[in-house]
Structure 1
Amino acid sequence: MFKQIVLSFVATVFCILAPASAASPEKIDRRTDKALAEFREDISGANDVLAKAAGVLVFPSIKKAGIGIGGEYGQGALRVGGKTVAYYSTASASVGFQLGAQARRQIIVFLDPKALQKFRASDGWEIGVDASVTAVTIGAGGAIDATQLNQPIVAFVFDSKGLMYNLSLEGSKISRIHDD
């Protein structure tokens, strides 16, 4: 009985997380604008970090769920010079000790122009394989010291909703879904 419940839950999770199709560019841009505005508003130092960025990849909502087997999915926009240049999805699957569901926002900041160029030239980009990304989890009212950021790529995870044991960016595959 327990096995049937777990399998039903996992099947439901993947149906919820798996996209039927990519959201429209306009919808992704609206969500991206909102996520960036809230990042700037809620996180002290966010403006300084964004001002230093060669590019910013914003995923306004990444949904993750699982019981033993899990998955996550989200869609976002790459902004260079404040303008959207392409649209991307992020997805990953995992097996292991995990339980729960979560929605979060993720902003990947390319502080090194060469790292941004390598990302844009890639066909599919996997965190931990194609590049090392320093992850920073920020709670409400958090602060960032931009002078302490010395990595070429930094990811900020914020506005987590729900409860999920096992938060990792490793293995997340990022793929282009639309060009602007």
Structure 2
Amino acid sequence: MKTLSSLLILVFLWTANATAADVTPQRELLKDAKSVMEEIMSTPDLQIPKGLIAKAKAVIIFPSMFKAGFFIGARYGTGVATVRDSQTGLWGPPSFITTLGGSFGFQFGAQAVDLVLLVMTERGIKGLLENNFTLGGDASITVGPVGRYAELGVDILLQGDMYSYSRSKGIFGGVSLKGTVIKPNLRYNREYYNADLTPQEIMMGGAVKQLPKSSQRLIKYLNQMAPPKKAGQEKKVYQNWTDNPKYGLVPGQGAWYGKQAGQGSFVVSQEGFKPRVMAQNSAPHQATKPAPQPRKPSSPLW
């Protein structure tokens, strides 16, 4: 009887330890990061444009970043970052990061903020791989467009090193990220991968040969939002519609025509690279034959 009781106790302790080991902060963070993305993308009018995610070079997610304020605001949070492979378009192994920042001004209250950052430029990637970088200083940051109609401008203009998306759960109306410092969480990385790896080795250096199981759901979801690139799929943006190969010159006339006659096109103007719809009088048109001239009346016979 004592032997049976001892075995039951050992089984209970082993199960408890296994459960505790499985529920690590890193695994919970990855799970919450996926939930944040799912919840943001489930609201059509507030979702991040998928076209923007497809163009992002990296994604940073802070689930429930904490912000408190009493005349001096403070922010702290732990998150995950993943970089997209420039060749395959697949999202790579996650690296854990920490954010810390402060702001001055009349503030009172506390809130938890879900924060998503899309890194759009090489400058932003360089900052992410450093020991620490400052938003608004080392890398510019802009509030990102939201909603289903924001997709229309994605192919036209990308401004800033990063786009930010926040979802607040408190009395603050918004989140100011300027001056926020982001740095790698080396302890979390070491515990998760059982090795001393830098963010660059994890996300871009190929040091992680097999994606940990607890990371796969988040990475799979991001790959669904921004499918891997295929050769020849990239969409080119032209400064002038006349540069687009689908338009051409009417032989011998110097006039432009389009394969899709009579349809306006989104183009990129030279003035600030802003989208506009081509005016009717400047839209490309099909070349037409000159209208036949009326016949001259024949001379009378008398």
| TM-score above 0.5, yes or no | yes
Q: One-letter code of the match for 1:128? A: G
Are 1:160 and 2:168 an aligned pair? yes
Distance 1:55 1:91 in 2: 20
Match of 1:76 among 66, 76, 79: 79
Match of 1:97 among 106, 116, 139: 106
Distance 2:184 2:51 in 1: 27
Count matched residues: 155
CA 1:137/1:66 → structure 2, altered by over 3 Å: closer, same or farther? farther
Larger Rg: 2
Deviation at 1:154, TM superposition (A): 2.8
Are 1:127 and 2:135 an aligned pair? yes
What does residue 55 of structure 1 align with?
58
Q: Secondary structure at the match of 1:144?
A: helix
Q: One-letter code of the match for 1:71? A: A
Distance 1:59 1:95 in 2: 22
Note the aligned Cα RMSD (angstroms): 2.4
Distance 2:149 2:107 in 1: 29
1:10-46 deviation line (CA, Å, top 9, x unaligned): xxxxxxxxxxxxx722111111111111222223453
1:33-60 deviation line (CA, Å, top 9, x unaligned): 1111122222345322211111101112
- Structure 1: any 5+ residue segments left out of the alignment? 1-22
Deviation at 1:103, TM superposition (A): 1.7
* Higher normalized contact order (CA 8 Å, seq sep 6+, divided by chain length): 1
Distance 2:166 2:129 in 1: 27
Deviation at 1:72, TM superposition (A): 1.2
Q: One-letter code of the match for 1:52? A: K
CA 1:30/1:142 → structure 2, altered by over 3 Å: closer, same or farther? same
Matches within 5 A, 1:16-31: 24-31=25-32
The answer as to whether partners of 1:39 and 1:46 remain within 8 angstroms in 2 is no
Deviation at 1:157, TM superposition (A): 2.6
CA 1:54/1:137 → structure 2, altered by over 3 Å: closer, same or farther? closer
Q: Which has the higher strand share?
A: 1
What does residue 19 of structure 1 align with?
none
Distance 2:174 2:37 in 1: 25
Q: What stretches of structure 1 move > 6 A for 4+ residues in a row?
A: none
Identical-pair percentage: 27
Distance 2:104 2:124 in 1: 30
1:119-162 deviation line (CA, Å, top 9, x unaligned): 23311111122111112386xx6763333551242333332111
TM-score (ref. length: structure 2): 0.46
- Structure 2: any 5+ residue segments left out of the alignment? 1-23, 85-90, 194-302
CA 1:126/1:45 → structure 2, altered by over 3 Å: closer, same or farther? closer
The answer as to whether partners of 2:168 and 2:174 remain within 8 angstroms in 1 is no
Deviation at 1:94, TM superposition (A): 2.5
Distance 1:165 1:34 in 2: 22
